[in-house]
Structure formats: structure tokens, C-alpha cells
């Protein structure tokens, strides 16, 4: 869950910077093909960069938190039962995130099926490098990869040739690939608002490219503008295609009549370079200079704060974060089974009605043994001693590793004592 949140925030940050840069400096310029390259490159950069991390130094930085294991629940009337909190905050978040991603994935395939169905129902004319599909359904002309979809009523229209020229520019410049990249990324980054803003900008730029290309081929500008207005009220129900007409019609008409931007203004695009370098340093580079740091506060997964621990972290001391985390023999379920099977609800605690969560911290040594077990926060009534007894008697773990070498690793374990289920 932490990775998903961190990655999403970094990606949103990247896209927000590029989006602001583009809208402020380049959106009103007529460098349509260059703008498309900048938009797509910025989008891909924002998706990839958060995955990478570069270090100036091979030394490690101590981090101010411990690994916290899943809570074990101990009941007074049945000490043999344990419960791993399946529906904790992290699990609910992950399940929700993946469920919504699945909805987007299903919707993606539904759109593909709609296009395939529309193609199957239409009359297909195969040409050298592209296909034209004439359909009965009232649609605005659109392109999907190398196929142009046109309403059959437009066959006799004088503007059919202009429509095909427009759509061929989408085909020849591979605009469908841009849209598909965004739609695929959106499946996993549906929560990123800038995905939708970038898609809008890229589709807008596609239409500017196509409109400009039509005029450059000698089509009468006034006649073409009338053609755009003619199709403005026709809406398609497939959302990742290059439509002939969009709600951005006003901006398209404005761009058609705008003078070409001076080439020297194109130098503004060079700002992308320092912005990209800044983002790499801000998100992917870390200064791993070794320092002695103190742990001021440890947070437990159950959202309860543990009292301040003044622990000096020295060069050859305990690791808080490692490349390979120590593992209990036979896995997490075996650990939970071990605790639940060996721990007993103290008689004193039952008689006094004491219940609550005991937080224990301990170290897994380089040889896998458990040492330095102590209470971070206890509840008394013998529960603290019982928790320590069970943890100190745990079998050897599979040791954690850092840079390929076994090391000592600190863990926290919450054990909840409950009088009733």
C-alpha cells in the first residue's frame, strides 16, 4: 500500500509540473507536432520516473520506523484462537484500489468490443494502408488505428474527401497509440486527476495537427470550418477514439485562424529539459550519506502511538529497514499460529478485567535468533510478562539481509488481549 501511495503522489507531482508548464507556455502556440511530442514525453516521464531511485552514496540512511508485524488477538475464553486483521486499513485500501482498477479494465475491453462490433456491422472498404467502414449508426467520423469509421449517409456528401483527409492524418501520425497509452495507464492510475487532463490536452493537440494538415493540403479553410460545425452535435459513445468533432470545436476554429507562431518562440520548449532534471533530482535521487539518527517516535499499525524511544543507531548496530526482511519459519501464518498456540491469558488479568494491546519490540539477530525483547507499552496484569515469554521462546527466524549479508533487524509486534470475542 505504501508503494502505491508514494508512487501515485510522485506521479501526480510530476504531471502537475508538466501540465502547468505546458498550459502556461505552449498550449496557445501553433507548434502542434512538437507540442504532441512534449505532452506524450512528459506523460511517459511522469509514469516512469517514480519507479527509479538513484543514490549519490552507497552508505545507508537509518530510517525512523520499525517493521510492525500483524496483530495477534488473544481471547480469555479461548487462548488457542488467533486472528490476523484481514480487513485493516491497508487491506481495505488495496482491495478498493484493485477493485476500481478492475472496473476500468473491464470498461476498457468493453470499448474495444464496441469498436469491433461497429466494424463487423458496417461495410468495410479495404485500401492500401487503411480501411474505411461505413456504418448505419449516426456517428461523427472517427479513427481507430488504421480504420476510419463514417456514417453511410456521408458517402454522397461533398465533404467526404475532406473527412477522409482529416482522418488519414490521425492514421499516418499514429494518434491512436497516444490514446491507448493513456487508457492503459489510467487503469492503474485512475485516481490521478492529471491523467484526464493530459488526455484532454493530447486529444486537443491531435485535432490541431489534423486540422492544420487538412488546410496545408489545399482544402478551403471556410469550407472546412463549416464541415466542423456540421458534425459538432453528433456525439460518439466510445471515449478513446479520435473523433472528427469534439467539444473543443471553439478552440479548433480559433487555432485554424491563428497566425503561425514564430520559430524563435519555440525555444520555450527547451524549458522541458531543466524541469525534467529537477524532477529527477526531486523524486528519484537520494543522498544516502550515513548519519547517526535517533528514533523519536514509533508508530504502530493499530494507529496507537508508543512512548518515545531514544535509540542511537550506530554503524554496525540494528537495521530498521533492510533489502530482505527476516521471516518466521514457514511464513506469517505459522508465526500467528505459534503465538496463538503458546500464549495464555494470565489469570490475574482475567480476574481484574484487564484487556488491551501489548506492544513488544525485539531484534532478529544475524543468525535468526530472537533477542532484546522488551515492552514498548504494556497493560499489566501479567499480560506483559506473558507476551515477552512467548516472543523470547520463538524459534529461530530466517535472518534478514542487507547488501547480501545477514544483519540484525528490529521488529514490533502488537498482541491484543481481549476478555470477549
Do 122 and 219 form a contact (C-beta atoms < 8 A)?
no
User: In this predicted structure, what is the pLDDT of residue 180?
Assistant: 94
Residues 6+ apart with CB under 8 A from 414: 68, 69, 71, 72, 300, 301, 302, 357, 358, 359, 360
User: In this predicted structure, what is the pLDDT of residue 292?
Assistant: 38
Q: How far apart are CA 144 and CA 177, in angstroms?
A: 9
Task: Output the tens digit of pLDDT for each of the chain's 421 residues.
Answer: 667 888 889 899 999 999 999 998 888 888 899 999 999 999 999 999 888 766 554 444 343 445 677 777 787 765 444 444 445 566 788 889 999 999 999 999 999 999 999 999 999 999 888 999 998 888 888 899 999 998 887 666 667 788 888 899 999 999 999 999 999 999 999 999 999 999 999 999 999 999 889 888 888 888 888 877 776 656 666 666 655 545 677 888 888 888 888 878 778 778 878 888 887 777 766 544 443 343 333 333 333 333 333 333 334 578 888 889 999 998 888 888 888 889 989 989 888 889 999 999 999 999 999 999 999 999 999 999 999 999 999 999 999 998 889 999 999 989 988 887 6
In whole angstroms, what separates CA 128 from the centre of its chain? 40
User: In this predicted structure, what is the pLDDT of residue 85?
Assistant: 47
Domain ranges of the chain: 2-52+88-108+158-282, 67-85+292-418
Q: How far apart are CA 4 and CA 24, in angstroms?
A: 30
Residues 6+ apart with CB under 8 A from 238: 111, 114, 115, 118, 142
User: In this predicted structure, what is the pLDDT of residue 84?
Assistant: 45
Largest separation between any pair of C-alpha atoms in the chain: 94
User: In this predicted structure, what is the pLDDT of residue 275?
Assistant: 82
- 420 CB-side CA count, 13 A: 1
Handedness of CA 336, 337, 342, 348 (dihedral sign): positive
Do 121 and 104 form a contact (C-beta atoms < 8 A)?
no
pTM above threshold 0.85: no
* Three-class SS of the chain: CHHHHHHHHHHHHHHHHHHHHHHHHCCCCCCHHHHHHHHHHHHHHHHHHHHCCEECCCCCCCCCCCEECCCEEEECCECCCCCCCCCCHHHHHHHHHHHHHHHHHHHHHHHHHHHHHHHHHCEEEECCCCEEEEECCCCCCEEECCEEEEEHHHCCCCCHHHHHHHHHHHHHCCHHHHHHHHHHHHHHCCCCHHHHHHHHHHHHHHHHHHHHHHHHCCCCHHHHHHHHHHCCCCCCCCCCCEECCCCCHHHHHHHHCCCCCCHHHHHHHHHHHHHHHHHHHHHCEECCCCCCCECCCCECCCCCECCCCCCECCCCCCECCCCECCECCCCHHHHHHHHHHHCCCCHHHHHHCCCEEEEEEEEECCCCCEEEEEEEECCCCCHHHHHHHHHHCCCCCECEEECCEEECEEEEEEEEEECCC
Do 398 and 329 form a contact (C-beta atoms < 8 A)?
yes
Do 170 and 180 form a contact (C-beta atoms < 8 A)?
no
User: In this predicted structure, what is the pLDDT of residue 238?
Assistant: 65
Give the number of residues written for the chain: 421
Residues 6+ apart with CB under 8 A from 170: 143, 176, 206, 210, 242
User: In this predicted structure, what is the pLDDT of residue 235?
Assistant: 63
With vertex at residue 65, the alpha carbon angle to CA 59 and CA 71, rounded to the nearest 5 degrees, is 135
Amino acid at each position: 500500500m505504501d508503494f502505491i501511495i508514494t508512487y501515485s503522489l510522485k506521479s501526480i507531482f510530476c504531471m502537475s509540473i508538466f501540465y502547468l508548464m505546458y498550459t502556461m507556455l505552449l498550449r496557445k502556440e501553433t507548434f502542434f507536432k512538437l507540442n504532441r511530442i512534449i505532452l506524450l514525453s512528459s506523460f511517459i516521464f511522469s509514469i516512469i520516473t517514480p519507479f527509479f531511485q538513484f543514490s549519490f552514496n552507497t552508505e545507508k540512511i537509518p530510517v525512523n520506523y520499525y517493521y510492525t508485524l500483524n496483530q495477534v488477538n488473544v481471547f480469555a475464553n479461548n487462548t488457542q484462537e488467533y486472528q490476523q486483521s484481514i480487513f485493516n486499513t491497508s487491506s481495505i485500501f488495496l482491495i478498493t484500489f484493485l477493485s476500481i482498477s478492475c472496473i476500468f479494465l473491464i470498461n476498457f475491453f468493453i470499448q474495444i468490443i464496441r469498436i469491433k462490433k461497429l466494424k463487423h456491422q458496417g461495410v468495410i472498404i479495404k485500401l492500401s494502408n487503411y480501411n474505411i467502414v461505413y456504418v448505419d449508426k449516426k456517428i461523427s467520423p472517427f479513427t481507430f488505428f488504421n480504420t476510419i469509421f463514417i456514417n453511410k449517409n456521408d458517402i454522397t456528401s461533398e465533404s467526404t474527401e475532406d473527412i477522409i483527409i482529416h482522418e488519414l492524418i490521425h492514421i499516418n501520425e499514429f494518434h491512436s497509440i497516444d490514446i491507448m497509452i493513456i487508457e492503459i495507464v489510467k487503469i492503474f492510475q485512475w485516481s490521478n486527476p492529471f491523467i484526464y487532463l493530459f488526455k484532454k490536452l493530447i486529444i486537443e493537440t491531435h485535432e490541431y495537427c489534423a486540422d492544420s494538415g487538412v488546410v496545408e493540403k489545399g482544402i478551403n479553410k471556410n469550407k472546412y470550418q463549416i464541415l466542423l460545425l456540421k458534425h459538432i452535435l453528433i456525439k460518439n459513445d466510445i471515449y478513446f477514439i479520435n473523433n472528427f468533432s469534439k467539444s473543443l470545436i471553439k478552440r479548433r476554429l480559433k487555432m485554424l485562424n491563428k497566425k503561425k507562431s514564430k520559430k524563435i518562440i519555440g525555444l520555450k520548449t527547451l524549458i522541458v529539459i531543466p524541469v525534467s532534471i529537477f524532477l529527477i533530482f526531486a523524486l528519484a535521487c537520494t543522498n544516502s550519506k550515513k548519519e547517526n539518527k535517533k528514533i523519536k517516535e514509533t508508530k504502530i499499525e493499530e494507529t496507537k502511538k508508543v512512548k518515545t524511544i531514544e535509540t542511537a543507531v550506530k554503524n554496525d548496530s540494528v537495521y530498521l529497514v533492510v533489502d530482505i526482511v527476516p521471516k518466521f519459519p514457514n511464513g506469517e501464518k505459522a508465526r500467528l499460529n505459534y503465538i496463538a498456540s503458546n500464549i495464555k491469558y494470565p489469570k490475574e488479568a482475567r480476574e481484574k478485567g484487564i484487556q488491551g494491546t501489548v506492544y513488544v519490540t525485539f531484534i532478529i539477530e544475524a543468525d535468526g535468533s530472537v533477542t532484546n525483547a522488551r515492552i514498548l507499552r504494556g497493560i499489566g496484569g501479567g499480560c506483559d510478562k506473558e507476551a515477552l515469554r512467548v516472543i523470547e521462546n520463538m524459534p529461530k527466524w530466517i535472518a534478514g539481509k542487507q547488501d547480501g549479508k545477514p544483519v540484525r533487524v528490529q521488529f514490533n509486534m502488537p498482541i491484543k488481549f481481549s476478555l470477549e470475542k
